[in-house]
Amino acid sequence: MEVDYPTHVDLQGRTALTGPDDHLRDLVEQVLFTTPGERVNRPDFGTGLLQLAFEPNSEPLASATRVAVQAALQRALGELIEVREVLVAADDAALQVTVGYLMRRTGATRRDSFAGAP
């Protein structure tokens, strides 16, 4: 069991835990919504996606964002996952990201959606 993200207290008043598959999803979320330079000693960790919510929505921006997200995930979690697809959509100030990936530990595939707004 791993500590759940975001960290919170469970019904018994203890730090909430999660299973390995959900923990991996939590790690993907952390990479997506962390701004590069935000983590001490990990200046290249993250994607800075939240800053893109205010950019004009265009196909070149979406393509560049997909490539940046895939590269960040492979760099940070490449030993744990193989990214299969990245879909990015902006709606006003909200950002929707869908990531399809193979979990190397089990060989199972997973497709998770994440939403964020600054």
Report pLDDT for 117.
55
What is the pTM (predicted TM-score) of this model? 0.86
Report pLDDT for 60.
80
Range of the domain at 55: 2-116
The count of structural domains within the chain is: 1
Q: Distance between CA 35 and CA 80 in Å, rounded?
A: 21
Residue 8: how many other CB atoms lie within 10 Å: 9
Report pLDDT for 101.
98
**Structure token digits, residue 62:** 């979406």
pLDDT in tens, the chain (118 residues): 899 988 999 999 999 999 999 999 999 999 998 999 999 999 999 998 877 767 777 778 778 888 999 999 999 999 999 999 999 887 666 778 899 999 999 999 999 998 865 4
Assign residue 50 the CATH number of its domain: 3.10.450.40
